[in-house]
Amino acid sequence: MNETTRKNTSRREFLKNTGRVAATSALVAGIVPRIYASEDNTIKVALIGCGGRGTGAAAQALSVENGPIKLVSMADVFEHRLANSHRNLTKGHAKQVDVPKDHLFLGFDGYKKAMDCLDAGDVAIFATPPAFRWVHFTYAVEKGINVFMEKPITVDGPTTRKLLELAEESVEKNLKVGVGLMVRHCRGRQELHDRIKSGEIGDIIAMRAYRMGGRAATCGPAPENTSELLYQVRRFHSFLWASAGMYSDYYIHQIDECSWMKDAWPVEAHATGGRHYRGDAVDQNFDNYSVEYTYPDGTKLFYYGRNISGCKGGFSSYAHGTKGSAVISTSGHYPGRVRTYKDHNMDSANVIWRLPQPEPNPYQLEWDDLIDAIRQDKPYNEAKRGAEASLVSSMGRMAAHTGQVITYDQILNCEHEFAPDVDKLTMDSPAPLRSDSDGKYPVPQPGILKDREYKEFA
């Protein structure tokens, strides 16, 4: 097909007439097939997971300005979230929301129905609890659909192994995959990374990061006459099987951004943590975590997380080098307000460089970059890196929950899969985690359970 013919042929017809055969032939021949959106064609979007994160991601997708894009289908397990998200997105992007009632899907199988409304080369947003990432990604890879998935994208070793295999397959199929570690798209952090690599602060010798706030991710026993499965899905931050816990969901960004600045993943973690002032809370999280990550060259990242009301707060990341230091995050993910210093006294007199303000929003930039890669058919796949970031987050969490030093290989090859049958769940299924007669769930027992993070009740 020559260039003139390609431009005059719709993407739908092109893929219908030649895509399936060409893709199969190309894979057999070892050639990567082209899956892209033509510049004069609309990219269709499916939203799977219609809570706040999913609705925000869809709004950012519809705000990309490099060509026509529209939302055509939505899925969730909660009817009120589906309705609220549809209403809010229609209010903000009326001309781009084209979701008729028969494209609003309710239930655990809704992800398939929503993606069936797309063609190869369109985009599916995965913003459900992370436990479902590998399930939804499997179907997207099968159908040749590009993906944006919220972090974290794995919850334990077995799901990471599944995701890494899917990541490799998605690269072979030339799929464009974005992962919601938006800090990597922050233009200020990108320049900071370049400055660190050029030696502006010397060799990194240590890093530290803090996320400390009030009480979060707790829950009481499931109310009577409530589906325990849907209760756990709704309160997913409270349960390790659903979210990888507060640790992974909250701390992954800073663990990832520090590892990016170091250009390496940590190889082991040693940690402490504990539960305090619990009241009637029955979630599986600790209230505080202190983790020493070690990189291949021995450099340390010291991570401090706490969620206890009334304590000193903090939300920042720093790098210390042989010649100076750097601020990676100032008081949250955005704005980063990154800067470098000529020594380790971080005051204005010692500033080498600081990013001019205001700075672009990385939550929007990650979508601009993804859609541009689709339209221009640029290599773009963050699935492997997202799985690795999720794994090293789980490594620190497991170190705290077991009281052991946990290595990268140990967490990757750990056989404890929190929810092995998550792909088989229906609205009537029992929950992957059972409570006892008092409505309490199993919790970590450091020093007692040394090779798994909790033991399910019989």
Q: What pLDDT does 36 receive?
A: 59
| Beta pairing partners, 97 | 71
Query: What is the DSSP pairing of strand 123-126 with strand 204-213?
Result: unpaired
- Residue 43's Cα: distance from chain center in Å? 22
Burial of 177 by CB count in 10 Å (0-12 exposed, 13-18 middle, 19+ buried)? buried
pLDDT over threshold 60, residue 1: no
What average pLDDT does the segment 143-159 reach? Answer: 98
The string of pLDDT tens digits covering residues 155-191 is 999 999 999 999 999 999 999 999 999 999 999 999 9
Q: In what order do the strands lie in the sheet with 104-106?
A: 104-106, 69-76, 43-48, 123-126, 146-149, 177-179
The string of pLDDT tens digits covering residues 288-330 is 999 999 999 999 999 999 999 999 999 999 999 999 999 999 9
What average pLDDT does the segment 134-146 reach? Answer: 98
pLDDT over threshold 90, residue 43: yes
**pLDDT band for position 233 (cuts 50, 70, 90):** very high
Q: What pLDDT does 41 receive?
A: 84
The string of pLDDT tens digits covering residues 207-216 is 999 999 999 9
Nearest one of 366, 325, 403 to 180, comparing CA atoms: 366
What average pLDDT does the segment 250-279 reach? Answer: 97
The string of pLDDT tens digits covering residues 51-69 is 999 999 999 999 999 999 9
Mark residue 91 as left, alpha or beta (left: phi above 0; alpha: psi -120 to 50; beta: remaining): alpha
The string of pLDDT tens digits covering residues 380-429 is 999 999 999 999 999 999 999 999 999 999 999 999 999 999 999 999 99
Question: Is 117 in contact with 142 (CB distance < 8 Å)?
Answer: no
What average pLDDT does the segment 123-137 reach? Answer: 98
Q: 97: how many CB neighbours lie within 10 A of its CB?
A: 21
Q: 429: how many CB neighbours lie within 10 A of its CB?
A: 15
pLDDT over threshold 60, residue 22: no
Q: Quote the percentage of the chain above a pLDDT of 90.
A: 88
Q: What pLDDT does 8 receive?
A: 37
pLDDT over threshold 60, residue 10: no
pLDDT over threshold 50, residue 83: yes
Q: What pLDDT does 25 receive?
A: 39
**pLDDT band for position 3 (cuts 50, 70, 90):** very low
The string of pLDDT tens digits covering residues 426-453 is 999 999 999 998 889 999 999 999 999 9
- Which domains, and CATH codes, for the chain? 3-183+366-381 (3.40.50.720), 187-359+391-424 (3.30.360.10)
What average pLDDT does the segment 101-130 reach? Answer: 98
Q: What pLDDT does 35 receive?
A: 57
Cα within 13 Å of Cα(424), Cβ side: 7
Nearest one of 369, 371, 372 to 361, comparing CA atoms: 369
What average pLDDT does the segment 33-58 reach? Answer: 84
